[in-house]
Amino acid sequence: MRTLYNYSTWAIIALLLILSGTARAKNDAGSVVAVRGKAVIERDKKSFDARVKDTVQANDIISTADASRAKMLFIDDSVLTLGEKSRVSIREFIQGKDKGDRSIFNLIDGKMRSVVGRAGFEVHTPTAVAAARGTIVLFETGVINGKKFTTVIFYEGEGTVVSSDPNIPGNVTLKQGMMITLIEGEPIGEPRMATEAEIQRLLKDTDVSGGEISVPGPAIVDLGGWELFFELPYNPLWNQQNVNRVTPVNINITFPQ
């Protein structure tokens, strides 16, 4: 090997080209990056099957069928992954210097994994409101013993959780690895550390491995002994666990005698 270079700038440009595709419409909030099974987008009282590269907009409702998953990447770098039989609405999505950056989602039913981007981020459910920034949060909402419930696990980072019922006071701060369950009509309880089994169950139920858009692997060009390493910045489009953030590109240069 004759020389080693760090081409982070080149890598960033290449990554932006991969993710940008065509220019986005003004009201586009993001796009679908993975679908396993069947997912549906509801917009303006119409519905259509969600497919990879479809755009998602404010006020859209995205739902998944039995044994299905859907993953969406938003322009603020947030990522939502829905488990099976889940339903989420994009309640509010604002990007702008004057109004500030914020995104609010309603998880109506089911399970969801969220990778929080750079904007102010909230998830509303029938019994809870969770606010976070720069973290990964797992959600499950449904009905147990005739009452609506929401379980929130902060897989990474920290944030706050309050009841969606304005008559139930108080809030809790959850740090990495902590969880809480809010049950309809009941006071906010004490958070606790989630067990590994509880975390892995929700991670598994919101996994879309094998159905995602993939970034091409290392390119190898036989030109004789040069090696370039592209150090790519993290992007939540990739698998959120065990991300290899350095992609080697071997360029071997052979000069004429």
pLDDT tens by residue, 187-206: 999 999 999 999 999 999 99
Q: What is the arithmetic mean of pLDDT over 37-47? A: 96
pTM of the model: 0.72
Cβ atoms of 129 and 120 within 8 Å: the answer is no
Binned at pLDDT 50, 70 and 90, residue 95 comes out as low
Which tops the pLDDT comparison, 235 or 86? 86
C-alpha span between 245 and 239 (Å, rounded): 11
Q: Amino acid identity of 129?
A: V
Least confident of 132-141, 205-214, 229-238: 229-238
pLDDT for residue 194? 98
What DSSP assignment string belongs to 137-154?
EEEEEEEETTEEEEEEEE
- Counting every residue written for the chain, the total comes to 257
Q: Is it the case that residue 247 has pLDDT exceeding 60?
A: no
Q: Where are the domains of the chain?
A: 26-205
Q: Is it the case that residue 58 has pLDDT exceeding 60?
A: yes
pLDDT for residue 175? 95
What DSSP assignment string belongs to 112-172?
EEEE--SSEEEEE-SSEEEEESSSEEEEEEEEETTEEEEEEEEEES-EEEEESSTTS--EE
Residue 3, burial from CB neighbour count under 10 angstroms (0-12, 13-18, 19+)? exposed
C-alpha span between 119 and 117 (Å, rounded): 6
Cβ atoms of 40 and 62 within 8 Å: the answer is yes
Which CATH code, of 3.20.20.140, 2.60.120.1440, 3.60.9.10, 2.130.10.10, is assigned to 26-205?
Answer: 2.60.120.1440
Q: Tell which residue, 104, 78, 82, has the closest CA to residue 164.
A: 104
